[in-house]
Amino acid sequence: MERDTHFILGVYDDEDVLLHAVEKVRGSGVKIHEVYSPYPVHGLEHVLGYKRSKLPIAAFLFGMLGISLALTMQYYMMEFDWPMIIGGKDYGAFPDFVPVSFEMTVLLAAFGMVGVFLITSNLKPWAQPRIFDLRSTDDKHVMAIDLATNSSLDLGKIKEILTESGATEVNNKSFE
């Protein structure tokens, strides 16, 4: 009957307690689904064991795409589509292309990064966010533990670990 509850939430008052709690909870073999906090807690992703974001790689690739597109576009325009003599230079004079290439690199890197971030973070406009505890937008840190990924552990044991780690409340939460 108790396994019907999908999540167990540990609610914390203090960020230092939270950081140690994350270490303790993970140390006792409980897998943490996510931690919600009202503001960015320094070092949280480190204790949660998150790997470094791969976003810079996306930025680099989109930047490369930007510079390639810009150079191709300008070279095609100036050399084939509509050759013009500007300032007595060759049609395909490379230095002329640098400012536009730079801007296109920055533009596509930025757009690409934002796009990849929105997609990987599941931030599509029609996404239904799951709110575990509204107070995590106010003054509480909330640690969510998914029971499905912790099926080998006893429910009471998990609650005990959370209380021992300094949680002021331990609640159940399930979604439709």
Partner 1 sequence: MAHHGEHHYNLDQRFDFTASIKKSILTVLVLGTILLGIGVILAISSGHNEEGAEAGVHVFHWYERLYASLWVNNVFFTGIAIIGVFFFAIQFAAQAGWSAPILRVMLSLGSWLPIAGILMLSTFFVANHDLFHWTHSYLFDTTDPQYDKIIDGKGAFFYWPMEKGTFPVFYIARMVIFFGFWVFFFNKFKQISEQEDQLGGSTHWYKMRSWSAFFLVFFAISSSISAWDWVMSIDTHWFSTLFGWYVFASWFVSGLSAITLIVLFLKGKGYLEMVNENHVHDLGKFVFGFSIFWTYLWFSQFLLIYYANIPEETVYFVERLSSEVYGPFVFVNLGLNFFLPFLVLMTRDSKRHGVFLKLVCTILLVGHWIDFTLMVQPGILGHNGGVGLMELGMFLVYGSAATFTVLGALSKKNLIAKNHPLLEESYNHHI
Establish if 43 lies at the interface with partner 1 (CB under 8 A): yes
Q: Under a CB-based contact definition with an 8 Å cutoff, are residues 140 and 147 in contact? A: no
CA 57 to chain centroid, in Å, comes to 14
Establish if 88 lies at the interface with partner 1 (CB under 8 A): yes
Establish if 56 lies at the interface with partner 1 (CB under 8 A): yes
| C-alpha atoms less than 13 angstroms from C-alpha of 71 in its C-beta half-sphere | 12
Q: Which of 11, 19, 113, 161 binds partner 1 (CB under 8 A)?
A: 19
Q: Shortest distance, CB of residue 5 to partner 1, whole angstroms?
A: 32
Q: Under a CB-based contact definition with an 8 Å cutoff, are residues 47 and 23 in contact? A: yes
Establish if 40 lies at the interface with partner 1 (CB under 8 A): no
Rounded Cα gap, residues 136 and 15, in angstroms = 12
Share in percent of the chain as helix, strand, coil (round to 5): 50, 10, 35
- Toward partner 1, which CB reaches closer, 15 or 146? 15
Q: Shortest distance, CB of residue 68 to partner 1, whole angstroms?
A: 16
Question: Which residues of this chain interact with partner 1, rule CB under 8 A?
Answer: 15-16, 19, 41-43, 46-47, 52, 56, 60, 87-88, 95-96, 98-99
